[in-house]
């Protein structure tokens, strides 16, 4: 499931000389390679040293003018916002952790809420899916701008019951939206009030909730696959899953706050951490507890991490409990930099070498107006041995779909169908494009294929009924 799986994290003693005035040469070389190739047009890095000192480094450019980033440049931080929400849950729901959602949402008659507890939402063990089956934004290039409390309630009405015996760790944006809305119901406060109080408590003087309070010169330009993308405007309960906009200066202060106030940041080893089943970090399995991922690369070493992503930004923060070193990395691209962050606080971690994929070439063709037969162009470049990254094709398709370039996005969806013919979300996307192009017969066929792969998805059934009405 291409969209729902994207935001999963891809995610010891050593000489303190690593954290002197310079970033290690191997790391700096890799950063410069990524910025020069515009895999990450800019990268802003903050380091927290064991004695509490801080260092800031900035690379690349923010926009076509060549403007450079600094420690005060703003980036959307995406899912790092969830660590803020987890802390709010600790402050306001500590006595309610074993309380079911049904208590807080009496207006929702779905019995599934009776079997969903607050502590499960905070730890991603509630059985709530990553995104609701009803999630169908008006603009996929800015997917949460039309989200609301009313939409959340509708999704809760359709939430499927999951027995405790079948629940396991599974990352959920939807779950953190529910968690945030629950805090609002408990306190009678809204997001701006709750998060504003927390930002004041933590001493974060720059972090904001939306773009309107910022000047263009302060905010990095979102990019994806080398081209300008949309800012994301999260509304309603989705704010608790990823709305904050911040900079490395503030987020280093946030790490300091967590060190002072969050017991899992103490030197004691974390008990009852939940295995996530994620094993692609290069150093064994990843664990989770109370809003933070926990990497255990060797006995006695625990590294707390979280990343984030929106349509044109990525973020990473981490803290090595064994050495007292922390890192924040912000970038105006969807290409993750978790490996760089981990390398800076745990030098044994291996760097990746992300490359430009075929999608970058297709994006350039589209920008030049050369939009004919994109599928054939893709096949030719693939045969030439160029890198295939279907998630890049996905982002390019969603960008053009959001812009209303449906003739283009439809061709890109053909590529997705070619590569992932058994993915129901790919057929759903194909149906969306055909529906926009008013090819209702093809749209119905695509939605039917999606429903065949996801037979319990009520939203797909509604889409089929909608387009079939157009045929009658």
Per-residue pLDDT reduced to its tens digit, 301-351: 999 999 999 999 999 999 999 999 999 999 999 999 999 999 999 999 999
C-alpha–C-alpha distance, residues 198 and 201, integer Å: 5
Q: Report residue 47's pLDDT band, with 50, 70 and 90 as the boundaries.
A: very high
Token pair in block for residue 91: 């402050």
What pLDDT score does 136 carry? Answer: 84
Residue 308 shares a structural domain with residue 409:
no
Q: Report residue 282's pLDDT band, with 50, 70 and 90 as the boundaries.
A: low
What pLDDT score does 164 carry? Answer: 86
- For 427, the domain range is 358-471
Q: By three-state DSSP, how is residue 69 classified? A: coil
Residue 412 shares a structural domain with residue 291:
no
C-alpha–C-alpha distance, residues 46 and 49, integer Å: 10
Per-residue pLDDT reduced to its tens digit, 213-250: 898 779 999 999 989 999 999 999 999 999 999 999 99
Residue 349 shares a structural domain with residue 415:
no
Residue 396 shares a structural domain with residue 303:
no
Mean pLDDT of 65-74: 92
Q: Report residue 283's pLDDT band, with 50, 70 and 90 as the boundaries.
A: low
Residue 153 shares a structural domain with residue 177:
yes
Number of domains, the chain: 2
Mean pLDDT of 107-111: 94
Residue 256 shares a structural domain with residue 375:
no
Least confidently predicted of 139-148, 195-204, 277-286, 371-380: 277-286
Q: By three-state DSSP, how is residue 350 classified? A: coil
Residue 363 shares a structural domain with residue 445:
yes
Cα–Cα nearest to 190, from 242, 149, 130, 152: 149
Burial of 17 (0-12, 13-18, 19+ CB in 10 A): exposed
Look at residues 354, 371, 391 and tell me which one is the last residue of a structural domain: 354
Cα end-to-end distance, the chain, whole Å: 32
Q: Report residue 419's pLDDT band, with 50, 70 and 90 as the boundaries.
A: very high
Q: Report residue 138's pLDDT band, with 50, 70 and 90 as the boundaries.
A: confident
Nearby residues of 376 by Cβ (< 8 Å), 6 or more positions away = none
User: pLDDT > 70: what percent of the chain?
Assistant: 94
Q: What is the 3-state secondary structure (H, E, C) of 291-342?
A: CEEEECCCCCCCEEEEEEECCCCEEEEEEECCCCEEEEEEECCCCCCHHHHH
Mean pLDDT of 389-401: 94
Residue 214 shares a structural domain with residue 318:
yes
Which stretch of DSSP H or E encloses residue 55? Answer: strand 54-60
What pLDDT score does 281 carry? Answer: 59
Look at residues 319, 354, 389 and tell me which one is the last residue of a structural domain: 354
Q: Report residue 20's pLDDT band, with 50, 70 and 90 as the boundaries.
A: very low
**Contact between 222 and 231 (Cβ < 8 Å):** yes
The average confidence (pLDDT) of the chain is 92
Look at residues 307, 339, 354 and tell me which one is the last residue of a structural domain: 354
CATH code for the domain in which residue 157 is found: 3.40.710.10
What pLDDT score does 285 carry? Answer: 82
Q: Report residue 1's pLDDT band, with 50, 70 and 90 as the boundaries.
A: low
Mean pLDDT of 41-69: 93
Assess whether pLDDT exceeds 60 at residue 6.
no
Token pair in block for residue 72: 């005060």
Give the DSSP letter of residue 67.
P
| Maximum average pLDDT range among 18-22, 411-415, 468-472 | 411-415
What pLDDT score does 429 carry? Answer: 96
Residue 268 shares a structural domain with residue 311:
yes
Residue 295 shares a structural domain with residue 181:
yes
Mean pLDDT of 174-193: 98
Compute φ and ψ for 285, nearest 5 degrees: -75, 150
Residue 335 shares a structural domain with residue 391:
no
Nearby residues of 64 by Cβ (< 8 Å), 6 or more positions away = none
Residue 420 shares a structural domain with residue 275:
no
CATH code for the domain in which residue 458 is found: 1.25.40.10
Cα–Cα nearest to 182, from 94, 60, 256, 292: 94
Compute φ and ψ for 275, nearest 5 degrees: -65, 135
């Amino acid at each position: 499931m291409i969209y729902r799986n994207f935001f999963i994290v891809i995610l010891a003693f050593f000489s303190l000389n690593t954290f002197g005035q310079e970033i290690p040469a191997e790391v700096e070389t890799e950063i410069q390679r990524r910025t020069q190739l515009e895999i990450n047009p800019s990268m802003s890095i903050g380091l927290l040293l064991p004695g509490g000192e801080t260092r800031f480094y900035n690379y690349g450019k923010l926009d076509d003018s060549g403007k450079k980033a600094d420690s005060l440049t703003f980036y959307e931080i995406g899912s790092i916002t969830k660590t803020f929400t987890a802390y709010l849950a600790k402050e306001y729901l500590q006595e309610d952790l074993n309380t079911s959602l049904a208590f807080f949402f009496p207006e929702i008659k779905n019995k599934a809420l009776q079997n969903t507890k607050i502590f499960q939402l905070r730890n991603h063990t509630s059985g709530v899916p990553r995104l609701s089956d009803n999630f169908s934004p008006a603009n996929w290039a800015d997917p949460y701008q039309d989200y609301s409390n009313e939409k959340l309630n509708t999704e809760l009405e359709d939430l499927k019951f999951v027995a405790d015996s079948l629940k396991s760790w599974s990352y959920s944006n939807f779950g953190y939206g529910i968690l945030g809305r629950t805090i609002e119901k408990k306190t009678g406060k809204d997001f701006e009030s709750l998060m504003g109080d927390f930002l004041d408590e933590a001493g974060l003087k720059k972090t904001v909730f939306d773009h309107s309070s910022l000047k263009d010169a302060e905010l990095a330009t979102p990019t994806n696959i080398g081209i300008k993308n949309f800012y994301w405007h999260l509304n309603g309960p989705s704010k608790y899953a990823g709305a904050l906009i911040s900079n490395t200066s503030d987020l280093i202060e946030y790490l300091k706050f967590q060190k002072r106030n969050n017991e899992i940041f103490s030197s004691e080893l974390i008990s009852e951490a939940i295995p996530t089943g994620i094993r692609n970090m290069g150093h064994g399995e990843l664990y989770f507890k109370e809003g933070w991922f926990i990497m255990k690369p060797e006995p006695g070493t625990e590294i707390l991490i979280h990343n984030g992503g929106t349509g044109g930004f990525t973020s990473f923060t981490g803290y090595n409990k064994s050495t007292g070193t922390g890192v924040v990395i912000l970038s105006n691209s969807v290409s993750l930099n978790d490996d760089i962050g981990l390398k800076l606080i745990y030098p044994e971690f291996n760097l990746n070498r992300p490359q430009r994929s075929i999608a970058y070439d297709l994006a350039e063709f589209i920008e030049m107006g050369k939009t004919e037969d994109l599928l054939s162009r893709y096949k030719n470049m693939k045969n030439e041995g160029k890198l295939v990254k279907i998630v890049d094709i996905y982002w390019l398709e969603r960008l053009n779909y959001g812009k209303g370039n449906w003739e283009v996005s439809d061709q890109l969806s053909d590529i997705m169908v070619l590569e992932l013919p058994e993915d129901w979300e790919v057929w759903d996307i194909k149906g969306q494009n055909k529906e926009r192009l008013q090819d209702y017969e093809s749209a119905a066929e695509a939605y039917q294929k999606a429903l065949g792969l996801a037979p319990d998805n009520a939203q797909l059934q509604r889409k089929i009924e909608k387009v079939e009405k157009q045929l009658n």
